[in-house]
Amino acid sequence: MSLRSPLARAPRARRIGAGAVTALAAVSLAACTSNTPSTENEDASGQQAQNVVANDEPGDEVVIGFSAPAADHGWMGSITTSAKKAAEQYSDVDLRVAEGTNDVNLQISQVETFINDGVDAIVLLPFDGAAMTPVAMKAMEAGIPVINVDREFDDPNAARVTVLGDNYGMGVSAGTYICSQLEGQSDAVVAEIAGIDSLPLTQDRSQGFEDALKSCGLDVDNRVAADFTVEGGERAASNLLQAAPKIDAIWNHDDDQGVGVLAAIQNANRDEFFMVGGAGSANAMRSIKEGGSVLQATVIYPSTQAADGIKLARLLAQEKALGDLVEVEVPREVQLYAPVVTKENVDQFLPTAFES
Amino acid sequence: MSSPGVTESQDAEQPARAAGPEQPHESTRRTGGGDLSTRALSLLQTGVGRNAGLVVALLLLCVVGAFTAGDRFASTDNALTILRLAATIGVVSIGMTFVITGGGIDLSVGAILALSSVWCTTLATQVIAEDTHWIVMAGVALLVGIGCGLVNGVLISYGRVVPFIATLAMLASARGLAEIISLRRTQIVTVPGFRDFFTARLLGVEVQVWLFALVAVIGWVVLNRTTFGRRTIAVGGNPEAARLAGINVRRHTVLLYVLVGVCCAIAALMLVARTTTGSSTHGTLYELDAIAAVVIGGTLLSGGRGTIVGTVFGVLIFTTLTNVFTLNNRSISEQSLLKGAIIVVAVLLQQRLANRKSSE
């Protein structure tokens, strides 16, 4: 940690201090405060910390433009707030936030404004990846590196770096965890509450889940789809509980809709099963920490990926390399891991979880 | 009974925008009051005066923009950014001006835009377009717009469904159909030439911006200089009187909704070119943006008075506001709040003017 760090981190550290974070190693603290998912740093040990410090040293002043869709979901809200927090960490970053819109026309004009301004880098979570491709291309052609977060452009040349979550991996993590919990019960009833079914991300999650269950001889017995909202989750779960009189395990794709799912479970007075969540909201994690609920675990889809985007944008603009890699240049693509959060490791993930 | 006829002859002599407000409710025409306040009021009530208010508002915004963002605001590139943003919603708003002037409302503009964008980018359409010309896509979009407008118009004038309800139904169905056709996926345009046409520059300005200008000019001429425009005002002001004067009100109403449908299709094509995609999520909440622009422009929501110039200013005011906020790193939420305030102030001012006028 550099001399600057304690000062810069003081407010955050206080906030986190309430938790059991103090018990964690210095590396983990660095992970929390730097807004990168801890998994990236876990296996990195001391060397990573050194590299982070080297890169964290103030460099050239850089202007980063940031645009994301409207915060109509806890996860999306956290995308913007964690990106802002990541930028606040650095005295050399001037973050311009063109906030929250689901209108591609408007989001395009926001990016055009960044291009006019001649910002040093643009971090973009598009409302619609394909629709934002032309303007991202325009930025790249103007010599401004674009960091594409979460929703991919349809042309790889439109982004210098792409930061992605792992939807398929989420399904695999959830399935593998359920397999380990139901070991040996090949007749166990597994249910799945998906998000919006027509979205590729939902299909990827379900595919991963199915594949992982298959490897231990299980399959999805009951499957319903909701729509990422509390209300939709409640409706879907009520139907599911009606349809399946006995369940052993449920995977619910999304913790925001999980609030509704848990309400439905409570209304139906059911507790013969355990549930695994998805996305990783602070709500869900607190409930996992307390115990006593059917919610035993959740699988993370990092809401801090735009924050990673900001960090990478800064490195790019300052022509620095990514610590811990031999490469001189920042990689082309970073795909984040989808870890399972249980009572045992929840403290490690709680600080970066999103509030729904 | 003879009033619309009289109106028409008066219009021909009147400055165009002044003609609008004076229309059918009135049997007595004011010829400018005696004392100063009435005179000032009458100036406000003419098109020039009302638009002066809008010009002042826009200039004020520009001053704020230039003051807070300096050269970042006052540059050609930024002006073009504002115009590009304004173009799509602007074309929709021109169509909306006609419907509202004609005493109706169209809540389905965003949904029609989405459906047009999806339909003209389906694989089948694009395959045909690749074999022939991208104009096929434009044709498909226009047909969708016309079709939706026709359904709206027929339901409203022959089915006697209230415009609010009929177009609300279209809002739901058109977007639903767009989702079904696209399977909620984003359809990418691969046809060569399509995007090039709309993003090509003419005198340094993109074709899509010129299209907006063209639609606005045509809209102004049609509303102020043609029988169609005068009929629109008559139908909106007093449909019964218009009917008695021999205007086919039902047919005219259908035409108005077809017209707004066409505008939506044009806007859809512009958005498809801008994003290179057709999607069922395009145009979300455009109905509100368009109505807001029309209303602050000075068109009466109850019909009978409409101004294209006002609408263009309304659109520019809102898009400039967005731009100034973006440049200053301010949130969309604050902007929405201010937008609401602007609408309320504009409408309150209008009402005051209308009340004073009727009490005279």
Residue A197: inside a domain: yes
Shared domain check, A11 and A150: yes
pLDDT-derived band at B335, boundaries 50, 70, 90: confident
pLDDT-derived band at B336, boundaries 50, 70, 90: confident
Q: Do B283 and B109 meet the contact criterion of CB atoms below 8 Å apart?
A: yes
pLDDT at B176 over 50: yes
What pLDDT, on a 0 to 100 scale, did the predictor assign at position A74?
Answer: 85
Domain-wise residue ranges, chain B? 47-359
SS3 A299: strand
The single-letter DSSP state of residue A23 is G
pLDDT in tens, A284-302: 999 999 988 899 999 999 9
Which residues of A fall below an 8 Å CB-CB distance to B?
70, 96-106, 108-110, 112-113, 115-117, 127-134, 154, 196, 198-200
- Cβ-based contacts of A128 with chain B (< 8 Å): 186, 275, 277, 279, 281
Name which of B84, B184, B329 is nearest A97 (Cβ-Cβ).
Answer: B329
Residue A348: inside a domain: no
Shared domain check, A115 and A32: yes
Mean pLDDT of B147-163: 94
Residue A339: inside a domain: no
Shared domain check, A320 and A197: no
- Cβ-based contacts of B285 with chain A (< 8 Å): 103
Residue A45: inside a domain: yes
Burial code (b: 16+ CB inside 10 Å, e: under 16) for B231-264 equals: bbbbbbbbbebbbebebebbebbbbbbbbbbbbb
Number of domains in chain A: 2
CATH class held by domain B47-359: mainly alpha
Shared domain check, A212 and A201: yes
pLDDT-derived band at A72, boundaries 50, 70, 90: confident
**Full residue range of the structural domain in which residue A121 is found:** 4-164+304-325
A356 is written with which tokens?
A: 């729904």
Which chain A residue has its CA at the smallest distance from B325's CA?
Answer: A98
Residues 6+ apart with CB under 8 A from A123: A64, A65, A66, A67, A83, A146, A147, A149, A306, A309, A310, A313
pLDDT at A31 over 60: no
pLDDT at B188 over 50: yes
Residue A100: inside a domain: yes
Q: How far apart are alpha carbons A139 and A120 in whole angstroms?
A: 10
- ipTM at complex level: 0.75
Mean pLDDT of A8-27: 37
Residue A135: inside a domain: yes
Q: Do B148 and B261 meet the contact criterion of CB atoms below 8 Å apart?
A: yes
Residue in B72, B77, B332, B333 to test binding to A, most A beta-carbons within 10 Å: B332
Residue B322 distance to chain A (closest CA, Å)? 9
pLDDT in tens, A33-68: 444 444 444 443 433 333 445 678 888 899 999 999
The CATH number linked to A141 is 3.40.50.2300
Residue A157: inside a domain: yes
Q: Do A5 and A56 meet the contact criterion of CB atoms below 8 Å apart?
A: yes
Closest listed residue to residue A40, CA positions, set A354, A340, A334: A334
Q: Give pairs for B206-211: CB < 8 Å, separation 24+.
A: B206/B80, B206/B84, B208/B84, B208/B87, B208/B88, B208/B270, B208/B273, B208/B274, B209/B80, B209/B83, B209/B84, B209/B87, B211/B87, B211/B91, B211/B266, B211/B270
Shared domain check, A195 and A85: no
Residue A340: inside a domain: no
Shared domain check, A178 and A160: no
Mean pLDDT of A230-248: 90
Residue with the bigger pLDDT between A327 and B101: it is B101
Name which of B78, B281, B322 is nearest A106 (Cβ-Cβ).
Answer: B322
Closest listed residue to residue A308, CA positions, set A135, A153, A96, A78: A78
pLDDT at A124 over 50: yes
Mean pLDDT of B102-117: 94
Q: How far apart are alpha carbons A83 and A81 in whole angstroms?
A: 5
What pLDDT, on a 0 to 100 scale, did the predictor assign at position A27?
Answer: 37
A92 is written with which tokens?
A: 């050399």
Q: A10-19, A311-320, B181-190, B260-269: lowest mean pLDDT where?
A: A10-19
Shared domain check, A180 and A53: no
